[in-house]
């Protein structure tokens, strides 16, 4: 009984701490996954351990970096947030570690880097998976010894900075692809902290919407927005690929544009994107991937055609050597003989099924060496010819519908349009 009461008291203290953190940092929601993330952040804050925050774009990773910094002993030190994906590769080392005067073109004076400015504080490296491999090696040295070199300098600098990293991609997958150092991954991932996406926090969606709608109503001095039950259900069932950031944008649109302040599901549908369409925040260049797939398909088709031709020549030679009798050939080559039956006439009057092969000379000796004397005609291996032929066949099969022809060929419609224009089809 005593242990049960003690456990309840400890749980009450934990809940109170979690609620106070939510109030202090403006976090809304009661999802168990969210509470677990907040609890992990509060426990790791007093230490100097590196933290790797993972979560989808718009899920609030930067908020948790502020929680860790503000609840730590470094809260009076500097806090610098760096978006690693927004800094060009040629200047990222200078931004992080500083440079000496004249170390490169345009370096008219010495400059301190973020690690020098944030000495005694915290650096938040957002999109850390976008760091170049050379910069990753420099960052690993700071994590291990606190030492670094300015660009263009040989003097070792020391810094005491806590590193909090965040990413919206699978870093371990980048490690396997050779895009991210494995040793750096394990140093950063001392304490993993996963922020749940909004689709895993369905009970929090309506609470967040009410908060955003109330804030925007005050900001724009407009009447408050109320959601009908069917609209609330639609909000909870939507997948929210843009997470909290997307929900906030939709709440702002409704507060500004919607005339009827009682919003039902039909009206809400006009603000929620179709889930079948792409919800990516930016265009992704996949041209190189498409070209590679197209070339790969063409090579595979060519090799398969050449193999089929050689097998067919061998099969016909065996049939001719046996006087047109296919009984034993059928047992060894069932697939090819069945295809051959579709292209030539069958003599159904014989007791034994045979193939009637049209040849200028019907009296061919049994010992005639067809494979030796037959003259082979070299087939065309031109990629352009094969490519043109494949596109024609795909268009003919789908009656000129380019969309389905492109799907059949395994390429995009844009690539198919370009090929049709280049080949004058």
Specify whether 261 is located in the same domain as 334. no
Mean predicted confidence (pLDDT) in 255-268: 91
Neighbours of 399 (CB within 10 A): 8
124 occurs within a structural domain: yes
166, 168, 172, 247: which is closest to 202 by C-alpha? 247
> Which residues, at least 6 apart from 183, have a Cβ–Cβ distance to it below 8 Å?
140
Confidence bin at 4 (pLDDT 50/70/90): low
* Amino acid 310: pLDDT: 80
pLDDT over 70 at 72, yes or no:
yes
* Amino acid 379: pLDDT: 56
* Amino acid 273: pLDDT: 83
The better pLDDT of the pair 286, 298 is held by 298
Rounded Cα distance, 385 and 359, in Å = 30
221 occurs within a structural domain: yes
pTM (two decimals): 0.61
Q: Which of 98-112, 118-132, 195-209, 336-350 comes out lowest in average pLDDT?
A: 336-350
Rounded Cα distance, 325 and 318, in Å = 9
- For helices 402-409 and 413-422, what crossing angle results, to 10°? 100
* Amino acid 319: pLDDT: 74
* Amino acid 51: pLDDT: 95
* Amino acid 299: pLDDT: 64
330 occurs within a structural domain: yes
Long-range contacts from 227-232, C-beta under 8 angstroms, 24+ separation: 227/263, 227/268, 228/262, 228/263, 228/264, 228/265, 230/264, 230/265, 231/263, 231/264, 231/265, 231/267, 231/268, 232/206
User: Tokens 């200047």 belong to which residue?
Assistant: 91
Domain count of the fold of the chain: 4
Q: Which of 4-8, 106-110, 136-140, 180-184 comes out lowest in average pLDDT?
A: 4-8
Give SS3 for 167: strand
CATH number (domain holding residue 210) = 1.10.8.60
CA distances from 371 to 338, 340, 358 (A): 22, 19, 18
Burial of 392 (0-12, 13-18, 19+ CB in 10 A): middle
pLDDT over 50 at 317, yes or no:
yes
Mean predicted confidence (pLDDT) in 224-241: 93
* Amino acid 346: pLDDT: 44
pLDDT over 80 at 292, yes or no:
no
Mean predicted confidence (pLDDT) in 272-283: 54
Among 376, 395, 412, residue at a domain's last position: 376
pLDDT over 80 at 343, yes or no:
no
Rounded Cα distance, 35 and 41, in Å = 10
Specify whether 45 is located in the same domain as 152. yes
Contact 79, 64 (CB under 8 A): no
Specify whether 151 is located in the same domain as 241. no
The better pLDDT of the pair 312, 61 is held by 61
Specify whether 73 is located in the same domain as 91. yes
Q: What is the mean pLDDT of the chain?
A: 80
CATH number (domain holding residue 35) = 3.40.50.300
Specify whether 134 is located in the same domain as 256. no
308 occurs within a structural domain: no
- Residue 363 phi/psi, 5-degree rounding, is -95, 75
Q: Which residues of 62-71 are buried (b: 16+ CB within 10 A; e: fewer)?
A: ebbbbbbbeb
Radius of gyration of the chain (CA): 34
* Amino acid 420: pLDDT: 82
16 occurs within a structural domain: no
Specify whether 215 is located in the same domain as 329. no
Supply angle C-alpha 126, 16, 54, rounded to 5: 20
Contact 103, 64 (CB under 8 A): no
Specify whether 132 is located in the same domain as 33. yes
Contact 169, 129 (CB under 8 A): yes
CA distances from 183 to 136, 143, 175, 187, 279 (A): 10, 11, 9, 6, 34
- pLDDT tens per residue across span 118-136: 999 999 999 999 999 999 9
Token pair belonging to 298? 């063409």
292 occurs within a structural domain: no
* Amino acid 407: pLDDT: 82
* Amino acid 390: pLDDT: 82
Mean predicted confidence (pLDDT) in 392-421: 81
Mean predicted confidence (pLDDT) in 58-87: 94
Specify whether 36 is located in the same domain as 140. yes
Specify whether 69 is located in the same domain as 209. no
Confidence bin at 364 (pLDDT 50/70/90): very low
401 occurs within a structural domain: yes
Token pair belonging to 97? 């570690």
* Amino acid 138: pLDDT: 94
Between the two ends of the chain, the Cα-to-Cα distance in Å is 84
* Amino acid 105: pLDDT: 83
Confidence bin at 12 (pLDDT 50/70/90): very low
Specify whether 148 is located in the same domain as 226. no
Specify whether 208 is located in the same domain as 189. no
Specify whether 175 is located in the same domain as 205. no
* Amino acid 242: pLDDT: 93
Q: What residues make up the domain containing 207? A: 198-269
18 occurs within a structural domain: no
* Amino acid 21: pLDDT: 92
- pLDDT tens per residue across span 97-123: 999 988 888 888 999 999 999 999 999
> Which residues, at least 6 apart from 13, have a Cβ–Cβ distance to it below 8 Å?
none
CATH number (domain holding residue 410) = 1.10.10
* Amino acid 118: pLDDT: 95
């Amino acid at each position: 009984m005593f242990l049960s009461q003690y456990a309840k008291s400890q749980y009450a203290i934990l809940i109170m701490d979690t609620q106070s953190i939510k109030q202090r940092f403006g976090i809304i929601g009661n999802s168990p996954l969210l509470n677990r993330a907040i609890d992990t952040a509060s426990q790791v804050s007093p230490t100097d351990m590196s933290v790797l925050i993972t979560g989808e774009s718009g899920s609030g990773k930067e908020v948790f970096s502020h929680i860790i910094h503000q609840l730590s002993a470094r809260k009076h030190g500097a806090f610098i947030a760096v978006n690693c994906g927004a800094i060009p590769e040629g200047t990222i080392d200078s931004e992080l570690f500083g440079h000496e005067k004249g170390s490169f073109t345009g370096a008219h004076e010495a400059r301190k880097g973020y690690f020098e400015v944030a000495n005694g504080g915290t650096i938040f490296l957002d999109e850390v998976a976008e760091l170049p491999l050379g910069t990753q090696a420099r960052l690993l040295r700071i994590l291990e010894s606190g030492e670094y070199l300015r660009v263009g300098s040989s003097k070792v600098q020391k810094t005491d900075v806590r590193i909090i990293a965040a990413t919206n991609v699978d870093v371990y997958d980048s490690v396997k692809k050779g895009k991210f150092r494995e040793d750096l991954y394990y140093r950063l991932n001392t304490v993993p902290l996963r922020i749940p996406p909004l689709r895993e926090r369905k009970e929090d969606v309506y609470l967040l919407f009410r908060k955003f709608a109330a804030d925007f109503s005050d900001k724009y001095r407009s009447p408050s927005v109320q959601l009908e039950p069917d609209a609330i259900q639609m909000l909870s069932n939507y997948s929210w690929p843009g997470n909290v950031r997307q929900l906030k944008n939709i709440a702002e649109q409704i507060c500004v544009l919607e005339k009827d302040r009682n919003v039902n599901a039909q009206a809400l549908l006009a603000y929620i994107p179709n889930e079948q369409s792409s919800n990516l925040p930016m265009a992704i260049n996949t041209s190189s991937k498409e070209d590679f797939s197209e070339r790969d398909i063409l090579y595979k088709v060519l090799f398969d055609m050449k193999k089929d031709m050689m097998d067919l020549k061998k099969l016909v030679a065996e049939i001719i050597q046996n006087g047109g009798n296919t009984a034993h050939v059928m047992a060894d080559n069932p697939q090819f003989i069945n295809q051959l039956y579709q292209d030539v006439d069958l003599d159904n009057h014989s007791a034994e099924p045979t193939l009637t092969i049209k040849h200028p000379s019907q009296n061919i000796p049994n010992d005639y060496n067809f494979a030796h004397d037959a003259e082979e005609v070299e087939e065309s291996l031109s990629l352009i010819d094969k490519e043109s032929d494949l596109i024609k066949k795909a268009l003919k099969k789908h009656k000129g519908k380019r969309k389905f022809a492109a799907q059949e060929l395994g390429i995009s419609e844009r690539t198919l349009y370009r090929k049709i224009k280049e080949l004058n089809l």
